[in-house]
Amino acid sequence: MTKNVNKDQLEKDLLRSRSTLETLVACQEVLAMANTKSDLLQKICETIVEVGHFRMAWIGIAQNNKSIKPLAFSGIIDDYLDSRKLRYDREDEFGYPAAKAISTGEPYFVQDIINAPMAITWQTEALKRGYSSVMALPLVSNGKTFGSLSLYSGEPGYFSETDAYHFNKLAENIVYGIVALQTRSDRYKAEDNLTKSLEKLRKTLGAIIEALENTVEVRDPYTAGHQRRVADLSRSIATQMGFSEDIIDGIRIGGILHDIGKINVPIDILMKPRSLTDLEFSLIKLHPQVGHDVLKGIDFPWPVPKIILQHHERLDGSGYPQGLKNDDILIEAKILSVADVVEAMASHRPYRPALGVDKALEEISDKRGSLYNCEAVDACIGLFNTHGYTFGS
């Protein structure tokens, strides 16, 4: 007879161990798939009940006022948690299992609710719902207990030390999951705030750029729109050449601001309806350096001041203000110089009528490789002759 009892108990223990392991495996899948803290906690409770065949499971979080707030629960529960005044500051023996686990930081068992003196205040409601035994496990992070996981079984004496060990590991993994999700959430919030800040900064930068652009064009109405047309052509050339969006943005901004240095040129020179004297032209030639000096204090994400400084440099060293050659000139400035020459020649100026696009393309084609970058020239000519590019207003 004893052997049969031992055999029956052994089979029962094996079935329970199998159920425990299946529950833990299923909970690990939940931990791996959860996207939010609330989703994680709720699905853990549901999995414990469904896979482990428990009567009820719930997770409570300790509040600053010493109460316990249920965040997730599943199973036969009705209003059980709502009717409890759950606290974790009681010193007497009648505290709830969750409260004991939180206050002590250790797993807490009630193996037979119907005969447990410490369950006298809550056993009636528990028995109504078929709870016979309960195990509460602390949730601990950085040495501080902040909540508990409680499991209710319909069998008295259901929980063993082995169960406590395994489910305590689950509690630890729940904590890791919460921390990981919180870290992810914080990162997403930080990334969202950064995106919003960058967008705000981009709008502010755009407003500054527009104000600077308008400053030049108000002083020089004959070249109104010149900077914007140069910027658009530069952007299109860079796109044809296969540059990244980031570099193209820098070239476009450089185009919009490339003549900002003309704010230092007397207005009567800018609007003079005849050819400039050598002295007047020497003042005009200062505008790349002035533009560079005006903008160098702005922390652009692109080398805009340097692009502006070099946009009148030429490959053979005949340009200004530094007489740079070939690889000493930024590719952005080389592209801008091609766009600037083509737009200037194609448009009307106070001292001469428009020469037209054909004449402008002939100029850069003749000086291809000597004054102007070959790839930029080819891309520019291709835009007009093959892709039907035209200047906007």
- Looking up residue 10, the CATH number of its domain turns out to be 3.30.450.40
pLDDT attached to residue 319 = 95
Same structural domain for residues 352 and 256? Answer: yes
CATH code where residue 381 lies: 1.10.3210.10
The pLDDT score that the predictor gives to residue 84 is 63
Do residues 179 and 207 both lie within one domain? no
In this structure, the answer to whether residues 55 and 134 fall within a common structural domain is yes
Question: Which residue do the tokens 């050449």 mark?
Answer: 241
Query: Does residue 390 lie in a domain region?
Result: no
Is residue 190 a part of any domain in this protein? no
Instruction: Tally Cβ neighbours within 10 Å of residue 105.
Output: 14
Are residues 176 and 214 located together in one domain of the fold?
Answer: no
Domain count for the chain, please give it. Answer: 2
In a domain, 188, yes or no: no
In a domain, 194, yes or no: no
Q: For residues 361 and 338, what is the distance between their CA atoms, to the nearest angstrom?
A: 10
Same domain, 340 and 249: yes
For residues 65 and 213, membership in a common domain is answered with no
| Run of H or E including 58 | strand 56-62
How far separated are the first and last CA of the chain, in Å rounded?
103
Provide the pLDDT for residue 133.
93
In a domain, 392, yes or no: no
Residues 258 and 165 grouped into a single domain: no
Point out the domain boundary residue: 123, 153, 183. 183
Q: What is the pLDDT of residue 49?
A: 94
Specify if 198 maps to a domain.
Answer: no
Give the range of the structural domain holding residue 348, as residue numbers without chain letter: 203-385
* Same domain for 228 and 164: no
Residues 374 and 269 occupy one common structural domain: yes
Domain membership of residue 391 (yes or no) is no
Name the domain boundary from 183, 212, 240.
Answer: 183
How many residues can be counted in the chain? 393
Assigned domain for 393 exists? no
Clarify whether residues 171 and 259 are in a common domain.
no
Does 171 share its domain with 22?
yes
pLDDT averaged per 10 residues in sequence order, the chain, 393 residues:
57 75 86 86 93 93 87 88 71 70 90 88 89 93 91 91 84 87 74 74 72 70 77 96 94 91 81 80 90 86 93 96 95 97 87 87 96 97 94 71
- The predicted-structure confidence for 120-176, as pLDDT tens digits, reads as follows 888 888 899 999 999 999 999 888 999 999 999 999 988 888 888 888 888 888 888
Burial 70-82 (b: 16+ CB within 10 A, else e): bebbbbebeebbe
SS3 label, residue 338: helix
pLDDT of residue 2: 46
Q: Are residues 251 and 377 in the same domain?
A: yes
Residue closest to 380 by CA, chosen among 249, 227, 230: 230
